[in-house]
Amino acid sequence: MYEVLVADSISNEGLAPLLEASNVNLTRKKVTEVEDLLHTYDALLVRSATTVTEDLLDKMKNLKIVARAGVGVDNIDIEASTKRGVVVINAPNGNTISTAEHTFAMMASLVRHIPQGNISVKSREWNRSAFVGTELNRKHLGIVGFGRIGSELAKRAKAFNMTVHVYDPFLTTSRAEKLGVDLLSLDDLLAVADIITVHTPLTKDTKGLLNRETLAKTKKGVYLLNCARGGIIDEEALAHYLEIGHVQGAAIDVFEVEPPTDNPLLNFDQVITTPHLGASTKEAQLNVAEDVAYDVLRFLEGNPVSSSINLPTLSKDVFEKIQPFTSLTKQLGAVLSQCMKEPVQDISVTYAGTVADLETTYITRSLLSGFLTHRIDRSVNEVNASMIAKERGITFGEKISDNTQGYANIIEVVVKGESRTFSITGTYIKDYGPRVINIDSFDIDFYPEGHLLYIRHTDQPGVIGNVGKALGDLDINIATMQVGRKQKGGEAIMMLTFDRLIEDATIESLKQASEIVTIQRIEL
Ligand SMILES: NC(=O)C1=CN([C@@H]2O[C@H](COP(=O)(O)OP(=O)(O)OC[C@H]3O[C@@H](n4cnc5c(N)ncnc54)[C@H](O)[C@@H]3O)[C@@H](O)[C@H]2O)C=CC1
Ligand SMILES: O=C(O)CCC(=O)C(=O)O
């Protein structure tokens, strides 16, 4: 049974996939109400009210996935989640239209003073001259951050005959042309726009993107909107420019601290506000809840997620295709880690044949995870494997080759240690499963699973018999045995598999034979 905690207000209807699943026990409680049970949950679903901190993650020892029913994940410590191997997912598409519509509504309300007019009429005033507005027609709209919401807003603005200028360092000129917008530098956009709206995520680069210095470059009488995240427009700087009349008005849905209390922007009549309502429609809330509910269920049941922040996103089809190879590389990594008992500096993997056309970065993550699992005392998976490798100064890379050595697919891994290198080659054979076909330049053929002994010895008569007899005398049954050598009389290897773990004492006694060079126990 999977334990799922829904800590924020998320549409019940949208959560149906989880509520109806027979293998899920869903709890709807705030984190503070289940302090004693935090270690039991497999999944945590939040909106923006819950902040997923490192401290919370430490308490949620069993946590495998955090889902944000919405876009912005600035309330989740992604790095800390990744470090702990916790997948972070969001629902990036479900609230785009609602937020774009809300921004448009805020813009129209701002330039026509609708909220102020409403308050005035309800106060039994009839002051028409106080609320003379401005048309949107033929105005220049500056959109900072031209992703899903920014581009939906642009469509609506163009329908109102506005000229749309955008600033987005990740937007190509050809895409801007295709979408019929004018791509500018930030400074040029600030200089030309009558109305500026921000639609970037809140990151260290976008925090305070519009500040005292950049706002000084705007036209006198400019209007500003923030329906993305509090802090992208620096609140103190905006208050300053409102105070001196440089900024004519602002529409703010989001605040640096929510709910805002002593926020200076609340003191201006020309600032209109909403309590973070961008995504607050029935449609958006249903969409995002459904999106994360399906994804969480899929993930808990071992399937790929459709929108992850810290894991490559794979379709079900691709996931199924790579699965045999991810388990193969996990096993190759585990064999290598146990054979190569010394610090390693570099892991390099070469893909050839059918596997080379697949999502190899994911397969490499599995390799690293298999390798690191046998070296460190913390949970390693595809989410945190590359981060942990980097932390430990292990470089890794992948190559594609044409040389399939006659197989349909080949994965070769070379590990460089402080004193030597070690290699392993595996393949996945349809209907037969994974095979290791070469280890440290010895051709061999074994199924990488269970309890194994890897023995290097001199190639001379009697060694294999002696090992078999020694184990037989100890009542240890050999399940399979594979041998390999490079040349007659040189060094040779044996790979033995057993039905149970082989004790240290047995290994020590086998090592006494003079023909034995090394013995390595491998547990898969
Ligand atoms: N008020 C509300 O209720 C809602 C607010 N949001 C906020 O809106 C933000 C945007 O959402 P989407 O459009 O769905 O995201 P998106 O990821 O589709 O678009 C963000 C765009 O910002 C651009 N960007 C990133 N760094 C930038 C920088 N330094 N300067 C300029 N552009 C930059 C990216 O290239 C991207 O095109 C979210 O991150 C979220 O914080 C989203 C939904 C609801
Ligand atoms: O959950 C909400 O209503 C806020 C939505 C939001 O800000 C987001 O999706 O980034």
What ipTM describes this predicted complex? 0.99
Residue 312: the pLDDT is: 85
Are residues 395 and 345 in contact, defined by beta-carbon separation less than 8 angstroms?
Answer: yes
d(CA 120, CA 116) in angstroms, rounded, equals 6
Ligand 2 contacts CB of residue 280 (under 6 A):
yes
Q: Which domains does the chain have, with CATH numbers?
A: 2-91+284-308 (3.40.50.720), 96-273 (3.40.50.720), 314-449 (3.30.1330.90), 450-524 (3.30.70.260)
Task: Reply yes or no on whether the pLDDT at 407 is more than 90.
Answer: yes
CB 407 within 8 A of CB 427: yes
CA distances from 130 to 71, 134, 231, 248 (A): 38, 13, 31, 14
Name every residue whose Cβ is closer than 8 Å to that of residue 205 and which is 6 or more positions away in sequence: none
Atom 7 of ligand 2 has which residue's CA nearest to it?
A: 72
Average pLDDT, the chain: 95
Q: 513 CA distance to ligand 1 centroid (A)?
A: 67
Contacts of 280 (CB under 8 A, 6+ apart): 98, 102
487 or 136, greater pLDDT: 136
The structure tokens listed for 28 are 């709807």
Give the atom of ligand 1 at the shortest distance from the alpha carbon of 149: 13
How many whole angstroms separate alpha carbon 136 and alpha carbon 267?
A: 26
274 CB less than 6 Å from ligand 2? no
Identify the residue with better confidence: 489 or 70: 70
Which residues form the catalytic set?
A: 229, 258, 276
148 Cα–ligand 2 center, Å: 14
Q: What is the pTM of this model?
A: 0.84
Q: Which of 291-300, 311-320, 362-371 has the lowest mean pLDDT?
A: 311-320
Query: Kind of pairing, strands 43-46 and 65-68?
Result: parallel
pLDDT category of residue 3 using cuts at 50, 70 and 90: very high
98 CB within 6 A, ligand 2: no
70: Cβ below 6 Å to ligand 2? Answer: yes
> What number does the ligand 2 atom closest to the CA of 91 have?
9
Q: Is 149 in the pocket of ligand 1 (CB under 6 A)?
A: yes
95 lines ligand 2 (CB under 6 A): yes
Residue 102 CA, closest ligand 1 atom number: 1
Is the previous residue joined to 304 through a cis bond, with omega within 30 degrees of 0? Answer: no
Q: Which residues pair with 493 in a beta bridge?
A: 456, 484
Residue ID of nearest Cα to ligand 1 atom 36: 147
Residue from 46, 47, 286 to probe ligand 2 pocket by mutation (most atoms less than 8 Å from CB): 47
Position 122 scores a pLDDT of 98
Instruction: Give the mean pLDDT of 65-74.
Output: 97
Cβ(144)–Cβ(127) under 8 Å? no
CB of 147 closer than 6 A to ligand 1?
yes
Kindly state the tokens that stand for 260.
């805002």
pLDDT value of position 315: 85
Per residue in 11-61, pLDDT tens?
999 999 999 999 999 999 999 999 999 999 999 999 999 999 999 999 999
Structure-block tokens of residue 454: 């890897």
- For 7, residues 6+ apart whose C-beta sits below 8 A from its C-beta are 29, 30, 31, 44, 45, 46, 49, 50
Q: Tell me the two tokens of residue 393.
A: 């100064």
The fraction of the chain above a pLDDT of 70, given in percent, is: 100
Contacts of 185 (CB under 8 A, 6+ apart): 167
User: Cα separation of 316 and 311, whole Å?
Assistant: 14
Chain centroid, CA 482 distance in Å: 41
DSSP 76: B
